[in-house]
Amino acid sequence: MTLLDVRNLTVTYAGGAAAVRGVDLRLEAGRKLGLAGESGCGKSTLALALLRLLPAGTRVGGEILLDGEDVLAMKWGRVRAVRWAGASIVFQGAMHSLNPVRRVGDQIAEPVLLHRKATPAGARKKAGELLEHVGLPAARASAYPHELSGGQRQRVMIAMALACDPRLIIADEPTTALDVMIQAQILRLIEQLVAEQDVGLIMISHDLAVLAGTCDRLAVMYAGRVVEEGPAARIYEAARHPYAQALSAAFPRIGDPASRFAPRGLPGDPPDPSALPPGCAFQPRCPVALTSCATEDQPLRAAGPHRRAACVRVTPAADGTAPLRDAPAEDSATPSPTEQDPATHGTAPLRDAPAEDSAAPSPAEQDPANGGRDARDDTPGDSPASRPDPVGAGEPEEARPRNP
């Protein structure tokens, strides 16, 4: 049976921020799903909603079926049990999630005592075993959080998440605060634990490369929606949604000299979830938007084998097997009249549009009737209003999605 089946999940915070807007996700036991997207696109909100950890006053709609049982319909007692044994979360920044004045062994033992009805001695023993399981000596149970390194604290967090043998582990940016060597260790540890115990994993990160290396499938979020989903490697190598393409291009590929010179990053910021633009929410930043994108919402549609993308340029006919970013750039710099027709767009190269070719906008792009999108693809240094942050300008660090 499907371990997790999220259907049309919506989350609106008390202030009116529509942080999650109709998300569908499925995860089988033993599988790993990556959730990607810039800071602010709703990843953590989604994770918190799965375990009903959102602040009071937040409106949540849809269904969250965990082993067939709707988390949103559960009584509180049941939710508390599910939080440890059904699913558990590993948060970013272990220092803030651990209690600084309690020994880590006691913190790991607490859920075992409460939810497994273990004796104090039994819970202590289990805590020691869990520490060894995540690669720390059982004797470290007597340490306080400040006596451990960042990587060790994150291991403690993972041990806590495993304490009640959950069916699903949600790891929200588990390695973002760690240096790269430790990051790799923690990722391998999580992978190993998932493989051994046949649990499901949802790994959240702004870093598509990390997710592609760890997960089976990827879902890319933008402004509270999934805009692309499919096999992890396929999305990383050849995303079909222009946002997913930009996210993928934002991280240099080791061993791929071409990626060092490719344009990185995306102008502007994600929209404010309490004041979303009409039409496609990505349209104001999209380098290849059509006039219709400013008014027409774009649902997910078939985008190749086991893939879906929410872009007017993606049609089911195009199977997405050809890497779009390798397509000749000239074609996209001067769209022909037929390319402006949404019905024929499945095969148009998307990725290369914002490159140097965009310095010469086509007549259609300059036409004010074309949705007022004329100036956006112009050369860097133009009107700041039309181009707040040029594609490819500045250092890669500037172009990387920000850490939350």
Task: Name the site residues for Mg ion (rule: CB under 5 A).
Answer: 44, 404
> What's the CA gap between 131 and 55, in Å, rounded?
31
Answer positive or negative: Cα dihedral of 273, 279, 283, 284: negative
- Say whether residue 10 binds ligand ADP (CB under 6 A): no
Q: Which two tokens stand for residue 85?
A: 């044994």
For ligand ADP, the closer CB: 69 or 272: 272
For ligand ADP, the closer CB: 142 or 403: 403
Per CB under 6 A, the segment of 13-21, 108-116, 244-252, 391-399 that binds ligand ADP is: 13-21
Cα–Cα distance list, 118 to 8, 74, 121 (Å): 38, 25, 8
Binders of ligand ADP among residues 62 to 91 (CB under 6 A) are none
- Say whether residue 37 binds ligand ADP (CB under 6 A): yes
Partner that binds at residue 337, options Mg ion, ligand ADP, none, CB closer than 5 to 8 Å by kind: none
Burial of 96 (0-12, 13-18, 19+ CB in 10 A): exposed
Single-letter amino acid code for the residue at 184 = A
Least distance to ligand ADP, CB of residue 192, Å: 26
Least distance to ligand ADP, CB of residue 14, Å: 7
- Say whether residue 19 binds ligand ADP (CB under 6 A): yes
Least distance to ligand ADP, CB of residue 173, Å: 8
- Say whether residue 44 binds ligand ADP (CB under 6 A): yes
Q: Is 371 left (phi over 0), alpha (psi -120 to 50) or beta?
A: left
Least distance to ligand ADP, CB of residue 45, Å: 3
- Say whether residue 55 binds ligand ADP (CB under 6 A): yes
**Quick one: which of 7, 10, 13, 116 contacts ligand ADP (CB under 6 A)?**
13
Partner that binds at residue 37, options ligand ADP, Mg ion, none, CB closer than 5 to 8 Å by kind: ligand ADP
- Say whether residue 50 binds ligand ADP (CB under 6 A): no
**In angstroms, what is the C-alpha Rg of the chain?**
23
Per-residue contact string for residues 257-286; x = within reach of ligand ADP by CB under 6 A: ----------------x-------------
Asked whether 48 and 68 are in contact (CB, 8 A), the reply is no
Asked whether 34 and 217 are in contact (CB, 8 A), the reply is yes
Cα–Cα distance list, 365 to 17, 242, 333, 334, 358 (Å): 33, 17, 10, 9, 10
Least distance to Mg ion, CB of residue 252, Å: 23
Partner that binds at residue 35, options Mg ion, ligand ADP, none, CB closer than 5 to 8 Å by kind: none
Residue at token pair 């880590």: 104
Backbone angles phi, psi at 209, to 5 degrees: -65, -40
Of 75, 17, 12, whose CA–CA distance to 49 is shortest? Answer: 12
Binding site for ligand ADP (CB under 6 A): 13, 15, 17, 19, 37, 39-45, 55, 273, 404
